[in-house]
Structures are given as structure tokens and as C-alpha cells.
Amino acid sequence: MTSKIILDTDPGIDDAMAILFAEAHPDIDLVGITTVFGNATIENGTRNALWLKQKYGMRADVAMGAAAPLVREPVGPTTVVHGPSGLGDVAAGEVTLAPDPRPAWQYLVETVQANPGEITLVTIGPLTNLALALAHAPEIVTQVKQVVVMGGAFGVNGHRGNVTPYAEANIHDDPEAADRVFTAPWPLVIIGLDVTQQSFFSGAYLDALRDEAGEPGRFLWDVSRFYLRFYSERIGLDGCHVHDPSAIAYVIDPTLFTLREGPVRVVTDGPAIGHTLQKFDDRRHPHDGWAGCPAQRVGVAVRDQALLALYRDTLVAWGKGSD
């Protein structure tokens, strides 16, 4: 069955990997792309999204979103990981398309309301746009099909954080927004570092994509060079983790992941700002900030080889026709 999705993104190298994956898979109908600050400034990220839409002839709308977090001081674009413009060594060419005139939060609300029960919101950047959509139209919690979030780290499989010892980048960028989104009563799945750092696109895997997946494979190889240099220099890895494409993989095949249920909260200040915590037992406490919050589902295990095969097969099938 085809899933209609809106992809909320901060493009971003692994965001580009996820955007092409969503566009390529026949079970995904990529209705819209909403942009948010994060890996790049909102201007650069939106330009990257429009350029990808233009380059690959995508029918998805592109709507520009938030330039800064709700409450915290902005931490600034992650140029060290994603390069000065967000796409590593690749410079987006001239863009002739314009974004949708609506701000992302309004695009999200109106598109969900025009398709009740049908839209899956997939987020692969800070959660600011979703928090703004909730603030303007809280009723969307009953109108979306589900929300799938790439973000957070719960200490499962030893993964606790990538921008601080206890925070993942998307949540650290706007912890207040994340706490509002995680405590809203909508069906929500979190695909965090606990699972995304369990899967690797190795150098050899990306070389094979370059050779077998036509023009998109060569583009993914080009765009990943900067990212792989970061991973090699900072972490000593020949390859990169599979962050943003994992959220798309969940929509295509949820059986790739094992999930754990329980309410989730986010630390919104102090040294642990951006830390995500799930309460997953029934113990009672005299003080409990999780009580009364809806149970959400958090990814705790992934069939990584099957996920890698799904990504490769999808891109190869799509890219073949491009040569």
C-alpha cells in the first residue's frame, strides 16, 4: 500500500539520501517537503530542497519552515558535518523553482486536513515546524496517520548522543519543540541513534551505488564525500551511519525495527539539554513528569543488513533508467 508522506527536513547530506530514497520507492508518495534550520541555514536548506526537486523532477511541494528554535539560543548550522551549504562538496545549481507561498507549519496543517487519516509526517531535522503546526491546529493529532521522527538517543545499544555526551543533533537543536511533539497525543515512532548508529553505509557500499544506481547513485557518491571525510577524521569510520534514510525505511517496512513503548520527555535546559528519556515500566513515583503523557514507540533494534539491501535495491531500480 502506498504511504503519502510529508518529509520535514534540514537538507543536509543524509537528508538528501533520504529524499531520494522516498522519491525512488514505489510505496511512497512524497507529497511535500518542508524545510527547517539545522544542518544548514533555512535559506541554504530550502535552496537544496528546491534544487533536488528540480534536478529529479519531483512533484512534491517544497515549503520553507522555521529559521530558528522556539526557545533556546540557536546552535548554528552543522557545517563541520554537512559543509558550508549543506550538501558537502556539491554546490546546488541555479534554482528556477519557488517554494510554496505558505510557511511550513501552515502547509503541514492544510495538507493534513485535506487528506484526513492519510498523511505520515516524517521528520529528519529539528521539530520546530511540527511544534508550530501543533500550536496553530492541535486537532491535527487526530488527523495524521502517524508521525515518524529521526532523532533522539535513549542509551540503547550504547548510543547516547552525537553532539553532546547525552543529546542527538535534531533534538538538541530544538529541545522545547521535541518535548511538545513527543508529548502530543498522536501515534509517533522515534527512530533515534539507538538504531541509526547500528547501520552503516560503508565506503564500498557507496562505491557500489555509484556504479550500479545510475545518475542518482553517482550523485549520492559525490554528495557523501564530505560526510565520509568527517566520519573518517572524527570517528575513524570508513563510511557513515544511516540516520535519515532509516526513517523512510521504517515507513516502507516497519518490520525492520523492534520498538519499545512508553512516554518520552526531553530535557530542555542545563548540560543535558536535548537528552531524551523514555519511561518504559509501570513503576509509580511520587513525582512523575511522564505520567499522563501518551505512550510513544522508540526503535531499539534494527535488521541492518535488510535495511541496507532495501536502500540499495530501491536506488538501483530507480537509477537504472537514468543512464
Residues 257-316 that bind ligand RIB (CB under 6 A): none
- Select from 6, 8, 15, 35 the one that contacts Ca ion (CB under 5 A): 15
- Select from 8, 14, 23, 179 the one that contacts ligand RIB (CB under 6 A): 14
Quote the cell numbers at residue 121. Answer: 509526517
Say how far apart CA 178 and CA 39 lie, in whole Å: 17
Nearer of residues 42 and 316 to Ca ion, judged by Cβ? 42
The item of ligand RIB, Ca ion, none sharing an interface with residue 162, based on CB under 5 to 8 Å by kind, is ligand RIB
Quote the cell numbers at residue 289. Answer: 513528569
Backbone angles phi, psi at 23, to 5 degrees: -65, -35
The answer to whether 150 contacts ligand RIB (rule: CB under 6 A) is: yes
Peptide bond into 12 cis (omega under 30): yes
In the complex, the smallest distance separating the C-beta of residue 125 from Ca ion, rounded to whole angstroms, is 5
- Select from 46, 92, 161, 168 the one that contacts ligand RIB (CB under 6 A): 168
Cβ atoms 189, 167 nearer than 8 A: no
Cβ atoms 176, 69 nearer than 8 A: yes
Residues 229-288 that bind Ca ion (CB under 5 A): 244
The answer to whether 39 contacts ligand RIB (rule: CB under 6 A) is: yes
Which of the following is catalytic: 243, 275, 285, 287?
A: 243
- Select from 36, 191, 244, 315 the one that contacts ligand RIB (CB under 6 A): 244
Cβ atoms 81, 36 nearer than 8 A: no
In the complex, the smallest distance separating the C-beta of residue 200 from Ca ion, rounded to whole angstroms, is 17
Report in angstroms the alpha-carbon separations of 158 from 153, 197, 301: 9, 10, 12
Residue nearest to ligand RIB (CB): 169
- Select from 38, 45, 214, 262 the one that contacts ligand RIB (CB under 6 A): 38
Say how far apart CA 127 and CA 201 lie, in whole Å: 25
Say how far apart CA 123 and CA 139 lie, in whole Å: 19
SS3 31: strand
Say how far apart CA 296 and CA 303 lie, in whole Å: 21
In the complex, the smallest distance separating the C-beta of residue 293 from Ca ion, rounded to whole angstroms, is 25
Sole window of 4-12, 68-76, 97-105, 198-206 interacting with Ca ion (rule: CB under 5 A): 4-12
Sole window of 162-170, 209-217, 280-288, 305-313 interacting with ligand RIB (rule: CB under 6 A): 162-170
In the complex, the smallest distance separating the C-beta of residue 93 from Ca ion, rounded to whole angstroms, is 22
Say how far apart CA 167 and CA 180 lie, in whole Å: 17
227 class by beta-carbon count within 10 Å (0-12 exposed, 13-18 middle, 19+ buried): buried
Strands 119-123 and 146-150: parallel
Active site residue 287: no
- Select from 125, 126, 152, 274 the one that contacts Ca ion (CB under 5 A): 125
Query: How many of the chain's residues bind ligand RIB (CB under 6 A)?
Result: 15
- Select from 32, 77, 83, 125 the one that contacts ligand RIB (CB under 6 A): 125
- Select from 53, 159, 180, 243 the one that contacts ligand RIB (CB under 6 A): 243
The answer to whether 169 contacts ligand RIB (rule: CB under 6 A) is: yes
CA atoms 23, 25, 26, 29: torsion sign: negative
Say how far apart CA 287 and CA 279 lie, in whole Å: 13
Quote the cell numbers at residue 169. Answer: 543533533
Q: Give me the residues that bind Ca ion (CB under 5 A), please.
A: 10, 12, 15, 124-125, 244
Which residues does the annotation mark as catalytic?
Answer: 243
Q: Give me the residues that bind ligand RIB (CB under 6 A), please.
A: 10, 12, 14-15, 38-39, 124-125, 150, 162, 168-170, 243-244
